[in-house]
Structure 1
Amino acid sequence: MATALEIRHLSKCFTPGHKALDEVNLRVEEGEMVVLLGASGSGKSTLLRHIAGFVCADPGAGSVKVHDQVIQQNGKLARNVRALRCQIGFVFQQFNLVGRLPLTTNVLTGMLHRVPLWRSMFKWFTREERQCCMAALAQVGIDKYAGQRASTLSGGQQQRAAIARTLVQEARLILADEPIASLDPAAARKVMETLARINRELGTTVIVSLHQVDIAMRYCQRVVALHQGRVVYDGTPARLTPTLLRDIYGPLATELIAHGAPEPQVAPQPAFALE
């Protein structure tokens, strides 16, 4: 199986004496759906931003490859990193949509890397491009809102629009940074079902960072847990024991264990027509 992501000895220090990432090694195969677990400040978001090439590692500290292409190495971004980012879709916690623009325009921005500048400036997209946009919106279940301003949609709908943007981008790797942190349980479920369906049916590699252990168990086949910038667990959700949870979450693990560790579940198989 081909490798979607390879990270070697990646370290990052924002302040002296405190490593946000500490010798991280990680390999993800194409078609995997992986969850990054960990408490706030464990390094999940920092790791995702290094993978996307938004942040440079410390000088001489490690490398990141996506589909065998170097994103960064030894603290320097690849010269062609902008071109390489085209294959990486990033779903932010706060959606990153322009509220005053229609949903279609927001989603169509995902294909700007292959649209001539003069057309993008005038928001002129071809019929085929708009059909692609509508198909992506239909895949995530919000095509009936295509003409509405993004600001009129709920948080869950906006997050699914952000996922649709990665579909028109034709991203081979989707990175989702706490995509359900600000959503209610029903909206969070729909967002995770959408990501799981894209992974399962399109074969897109998905790496999602979460706080919620129960959701990780329900939707992801592999858990990579971080604590103080280090990988402390890499395996199946079923093997997350109370001891491992203490290593991952520290004092917060007591509350998780008190409520009982959730049993692993089979990921739901919803149709894309989510309301």
Structure 2
Amino acid sequence: MSTAITISGLNKTFCSGRKALQDIHLTIEAGEMVALIGASGSGKSTLLRHMAGLMAGDSGGQGLVQIHGSTVQRDGKVASDIRSIRSGVGFVFQQFNLVDRLPVIVNVLAGSLHRVPLWRSLTRWFTESEVARGMEALRRVGIAECGPQRASTLSGGQQQRAAIARALVQGARVILADEPIASLDPESSRKVMDILARVNREDQCTVVVSLHQVNVAMKYCARTVALHQGRVVYDGPSVALTPTLLRELYGAEADDILALGDHISSLQDNKPAAPHLAWPAPVVAMAQAA
């Protein structure tokens, strides 16, 4: 199994002086589906944005982020060829990041813009085969009938599925999903998570998804990385994240995390949970005071 994502010595300090990421070391193998959990402000979104090269870490250290062996950033500087690297990384945003006034199929085909000439990207002119690929991606996520509609007419769940279809058209080998179900109802949340799990399984695409609900992480991801105050405090099997362990990791904040119920399982449709892959013993590091 090859390595999809390598992070070492990554730190991020905002202008306010707050340390958003502290000495992050992480390796994710190709084909894994990994959950990032933590309370709001723990660094989940910031870490995903660093993986994609949308943010640069602190300089003056040895911070390194690589995707499939290509350097995304090193020592606080994003790589000069970052656009080429990003072509293989699909980013699914919490708020969908679609252009409301454009048809859904055009939003999806935006995933192929890195492969077309500039004049075609500016005029939004796509070939018949490209449109067919976009419609196939929409079919895979279950909304092929929505292709001609304006994106603004879709529900939140449908828009998130369109965002995943865009990543499929892009041909992404890595999908980074930033709280993709945070604003969705239970049924839409389940569909989005089912699709991400299916893409991971069928396409052997590496998926890293940030979540608030621990039970959802346990249902869909064999491995969970827990963040607390910008540090990795747990890296191991999702099934080992018992309430007792969460209280050891998060203290009083664990109650807020545990209070977020698994609204997907509450649908009670008797669907079995995704099978968990074997995972070695967890790495647990208690967060130190900043």
TM range (shorter): over 0.9
Report the counterpart of residue 99 of structure 2 in structure 1: 98
* Contact 2:216/2:262 (8 A) holds in 1: no
Q: Which residue of 2 aligns with 1:208?
A: 209
1:266 is matched with: 273
> In 2 relative to 1, CA 32–150 (structure 1 residues): closer, same or farther, beyond 3 Å?
same
User: What is the CA-CA distance between 1:259 and the residue it aligns to?
Assistant: 8.7
Paired residues, what number?
267
Which residue number corresponds to residue 221 of structure 2? 220
The match for 1:148 is 149
Q: Distance in 1 between matches of 2:16 and 2:93?
A: 28
Contact 1:34/1:220 (8 A) holds in 2: yes
Describe the shift of the 1:66–1:257 C-alpha distance in structure 2 as closer, same or farther (beyond 3 A).
Answer: closer
Q: Any gaps of 5 or more consecutive residues in structure 1?
A: 269-275
Q: CA deviation at 1:121?
A: 1.7
- Match status 1:173 vs 2:174: yes
Matches within 5 A, 1:247-258: 247-254=248-255
* Structure 1 residues 127 and 233: CA distance shift in structure 2, 3 A: same
The answer on whether the counterparts of 2:213 and 2:257 sit within 8 Å (CA) in structure 1 is no
Match of 1:272 in 2: none
Matched, 1:60 2:71: no
- SS of the aligned residue for 1:23 comes to strand
Contact 1:39 1:248 in 2 (8 A): no
CA distance in 2, matches of 1:229, 1:164: 31
Q: Distance in 2 between matches of 1:171 and 1:261?
A: 29
User: Aligned-pair distance for 1:215?
Assistant: 0.6
What secondary structure sits across from 1:195 in the alignment?
helix
Bigger drift between 254-263 and 206-215 goes to 254-263
Shift in alpha-carbon separation, 1:118–1:256, aligned structure 2, 3 A: closer
Shift of 1:266: 2.7
- Structure-to-structure mapping, 1:188-199, within 5 angstroms: 188-199=189-200
Question: Structure 2: which amino acid aligns with 1:163?
Answer: I
Deviation at 1:230, TM superposition (A): 0.3
Deviations 1:4-48 (A, max 9, x none): 000001000004542100000000000000000000000000000
Corresponding residue for 1:132?
A: 133
Which stretches of structure 1, 4 residues or longer, exceed 3 Å deviation after superposition? 247-250, 255-263
Matching residue's letter, 2:274:
A
Identity over aligned pairs, percent? 61
SS of corresponding position for 1:209: strand
RMSD (Å) for aligned C-alpha atoms: 2.0
Give the direction of change, closer, same or farther, for the CA distance of 1:247–1:81 in structure 2 (3 Å limit).
Answer: farther
Distance 1:150 1:249 in 2: 39
What residue is the counterpart of 1:80 in the other structure?
A: 81
CA contact (8 A) 2:38 2:257 kept: no
Which residue matches 2:8? 8
Partner of residue 37, structure 1 = 37
SS in 1 for 2:72: strand
Q: Which residue of 1 aligns with 2:18?
A: 18
TM-score of the aligned structures, taking structure 1 as reference length: 0.92
Which residue of structure 2 lines up, in the alignment, with residue 246 of structure 1? Answer: 247
**Alignment partner of 1:235 is 2:249:** no
* Secondary structure at 1:183 match in 2: coil
Query: Could you list the runs of 5+ residues in structure 2 that have no partner in the other structure?
Result: 266-271, 276-290
